[in-house]
Amino acid sequence: MKKLLIVTSVLLFSFASFAQKAERENIRKGNKEYRQQKYSTAEQRYKSAIKVNPNSKEAIYNLANTSYKQGRWDEALKGYEKYVSLEKQNPKNLGKAFHNMGNVYLRKHPSKDEKENYVEKAIDAYKQSLRINPDDDETRYNLAVAQKLRQDQGKGGGNNKNKDKNKDQKKDKDKNKQDQNKDKNQNQDKKDQQKQNQQDKQEQMSQSNAEQLLKAIEQDEKQTQDKIKQMKAAERKQKNDENRRNNKDW
């Protein structure tokens, strides 16, 4: 009986080691494909890692990134949300996940579903990120962009929900006015059409503003990443120079 228990334990340990190795190998290959901008093949690698370990935080987070790069916002958001629910040990990466969630929400703005205020959700996500990483300039910049969008929404014709409510009330009143003449109805229809056209133009302007601001975000993030790479290269060069000097002194 003891021998059977020992054999079973060895088999379980061997299986766990094999699974862990397969998970790490898929993540490693996925990361390589991601760096080469082969997002589709990287996605398959991360999915393979998740099959082995459904709670692989690194694979879940990186899979969300590949979805983001391919413009699949809902999938990306779902991945980031799952990662946030699992991450308990690495606050820095948790802050990055909230940052990326904010970017997704801005990408989904404006929404045809007026129940979803993605600008507000983006602001909340960026604030969450800054609570964790208060020195992150990129997140602070993106938060300012989202707040600017919210401000523009306020200027662009007021609250859409209140507009719809007022329209519904107006329709109810119109139903009760049985003796309203046709000319007034026609004039009212023209006014309603003009208001609708104006609202459509405002939504188009909001969409254009959002796209311009998002392009500014991406450009700012790229410049920041370039600066980080330059700083790291300078640090490596300095260390190499110091090592060479030390070797000469020896």
Read off the pLDDT of residues 105-147 as tens digits, 9 standing for 90 and up.
999 887 666 667 899 999 999 999 999 999 999 999 999 999 9
Domain boundaries, the chain: 1-71, 87-155+196-225
For residue 133, what pLDDT is reported?
94
- Given a contact cutoff of 8 angstroms between Cβ atoms, the answer to whether 31 and 49 are in contact is no
Fold classified for 1-71: 1.25.40
Lowest-pLDDT range, 28-42, 81-95, 210-224? 210-224
Report which residue type is found at 219.
Q
What's the pLDDT band for 236 if we cut at 50, 70, 90?
confident
Read off the pLDDT of residues 14-68 as tens digits, 9 standing for 90 and up.
545 657 888 999 999 999 999 999 999 999 999 999 999 999 999 999 999 999 9
pLDDT reading at 7 higher than 50: no
For residue 167, what pLDDT is reported?
45
CA–CA dist 215, 122 (Å, integer):
16
For the chain, give the percent of residues with pLDDT over 70.
Answer: 55
- Given a contact cutoff of 8 angstroms between Cβ atoms, the answer to whether 107 and 214 are in contact is yes
Residues 6+ apart with CB under 8 A from 107: 71, 73, 214
Report which residue type is found at 121.
K
Q: Would the CA dihedral through 202, 205, 209, 210 be positive or negative?
A: positive
